[in-house]
Amino acid sequence: MIKRIITPLLLLSSVLTAAHAATYYVDSKTGSDSSSGLSARTPWKTLAKVNSVTLQPGDWVLFRAGSVFTGQLKPQGSGLPGKPVLLSSYGSGPQPLLAANGTHRCTLWLYNVQNYIVQNLQITNTGPAPAAKRTGVLVSAWNSGVMHNITLRRLYIHDVNGSEIKNAGGGAGIAWQNGGSKVKSRFDGLTIEYCHLVRTDRNGIVGAGYWQRSNWYPSLHVVIQHNLLEHIGGDGIVPIGCDGCLVQYNVMRNSGWNLPMGEYAAGIWPWSCDNTVVQFNEVSGQRGGGDAQGFDSDWNCRNTLIQYNYSHDNEGGFLLVCNDGSSHMPYSAGNQNTVVRYNLSVNDGYRITGQQHNSPAIHFAGPTSHTLIYNNTIVAGPKPAGIYDNSMVIMNSWNGYASDTLFENNIFYTADTAGFSLGQTKGTLFKNNLYYGPQPSRPQDEGAKLFNPLFAGPLTPAEGKKYWLGFVLKQGSPAAEAGIAVPDNGGRDLAGAELPAGNPALGALQPGSH
């Protein structure tokens, strides 16, 4: 659990302390907008007063713990490298609450500003009825060029009732957008970390930018890490229009439960991005009639790397790799060169909402190309009666089929009958995988292994830092050293154990990992 705490000013970095200029205090209970705001004894009172001041590089704006501020915070003025503007809190008690109450599209709006740190605030935006595009925090770069170095840290964002309909505009806990036809605009250095999002509709953390390849201007150095997302309406973390985005150490659970029929959502997935790294995340309890996978490499994405993640109890399965074959250059580059390695999936694909959509552990849809899936451990225990789909892998059409896909060194472990359906794919190769359990339609596989891998057990989803312990291979397992060495394999397994110079074990975990 990410704790919502107030960091004392003494713990702020020495860099900030050395660089800051004026400090403004804001207290909704005792403040007055006619005061100077320059001390805790003479604080301002409202967000409107903060919005009226053009902040200078190194300025701090501190909101009193326990205060409640209504309306929208839209600060003016930017920081400089090494002299950021800081929005934070002071005093002891609950994080100060900023509540737009549905009167504004977003509660905090960072519009065409840069070199900002925003931390230790509580943000909500609940209107009398859901509204499209309603957001807790919105970060915008529009006709402004490159906006640098924005950090959102330790924010508690909850109860944002945007629309649950994606095509209507949705809504989010945190959103960023960059665009404009006059001056191309993007972010270089956007970090979202240690935030806690609860009950935000439709989505958790999402971005939007120049997505068409004919007008490609991706944001750079986007990092989304160490966040906790709970009871999100639909999609969890979705970077769009980025190059080199890093998504790591996030936890998402119990989301998508109330999506209307016909709405699709998944946990963590890039769209129209290059060189995305998705690692060390946990997604569980994702629901919804369509999709509802833990992880996804989506269309118009190149070189996505999904590694060292934990997926369990997601209704739509562990993984989706997809591409809309009706969209081509100059709009879309398709889906190319996805790598999925050293992940653990447990009891994914148990669809219970009643919609008969595919829910295999691994789902390919459309003409993806050159995908490499190796050294993953996929475990499916007994499924309740009435589950629609008992598949391990399905590869079907979305205006075309996948090509040049390699499955290697994976463990497919099932308690019930499970199927594999490859459709009309081209160049799909299964090589040296382990199949254990009733899998009568397993694919042709050069070097297939059909023995019990001998997991340590128990084979049930677990919480905590060592969730993988039940799925470590016992000493003496025939799956040890049974893998094929893969070049550039990352050098470690899911638990952090160093991979041998020779043949690794099958699956995501080496024997003895702890």
pLDDT of 355 > 60? The answer is no
Position 97: which residue type? L
Query: Which pLDDT value is given to residue 306?
Result: 99
Integer Rg of the chain from CA:
24
pLDDT digits (tens, 9 = 90+) for 228-253: 999 999 999 999 999 999 999 999 99
Element (H, E) at 364: strand 362-365
Q: Which of the two residues, 370 and 20, has the higher pLDDT score?
A: 370
Residue 19 has what DSSP assignment? Answer: H
CA distances from 255 to 4, 201, 290, 354, 504 (A): 21, 10, 13, 17, 36
Per-residue pLDDT at 482 exceeds 70:
yes
Output the DSSP codes for 479-514: TTT-SPP-TT--SB-TTSPBPPSSPPPSSS--TT--
pLDDT of residue 210: 96
DSSP class of residue 257 equals: T
Can you give the pLDDT at residue 513?
78
Q: Spell 104-133 as b/e; 16+ CB within 10 A means b.
A: bbbbbbbebbbbbbbbbbbbbbbeeebbbb
Q: Is the pLDDT of residue 419 over 60?
A: yes
Give the distance from CA 211 to its chain's centroid: 18
What pLDDT shows up at residue 9?
Answer: 44
pLDDT band per the 50, 70, 90 thresholds, residue 465: confident
Nearest to 166 by CA among 104, 109, 235: 235
Average pLDDT over residues 398-406: 98
The per-type count for the chain, helices as H runs and strands as E runs, is 2, 43
| pLDDT classification of 18: cutoffs 50, 70, 90 | low
% pLDDT > 90, the chain: 88
Query: What is the average pLDDT across 34-43?
Result: 98
Please check the confidence at residue 13 and state whether its pLDDT lies above 60. no
- Beta strand pairing status for 186-193 and 277-279? unpaired
% of the chain exceeding 70 in pLDDT: 95
Residue pLDDT, tens place only, 93-135 = 999 999 999 999 999 999 999 999 999 999 999 999 999 999 9
Average pLDDT value for the chain = 94
CA 2 – CA 165 distance, rounded (Å):
29
Among 123-127, 147-151, 413-417, the range scoring the smallest mean pLDDT is 413-417
3-state helix, strand, coil in the chain (%, to 5): 5, 40, 55
Least confident piece of the model among 116-130, 190-204, 463-477: 463-477
pLDDT at 390: 78
Each residue of 279-331: pLDDT tens digit? 999 999 999 778 999 999 999 999 999 999 999 999 999 999 999 999 999 99
Q: Are 143 and 116 in contact (CB under 8 A)?
A: no
Q: 405 forms bridges with which residues in the sheet?
A: 371
Q: Where are the domains of the chain?
A: 338-514
pLDDT(427) > 80 = yes
353 vs 206, higher pLDDT: 206
Residue 17: what pLDDT? 52
Question: In this predicted structure, what is the pLDDT of residue 354?
Answer: 55
Q: What is the pLDDT, as a whole number, of residue 257?
A: 84
Summarised one tens digit per residue, pLDDT across range 67-78 is 999 999 999 999
Query: Which pLDDT belongs to residue 258?
Result: 84
Beta bridge pairs of residue 307 = 279, 341
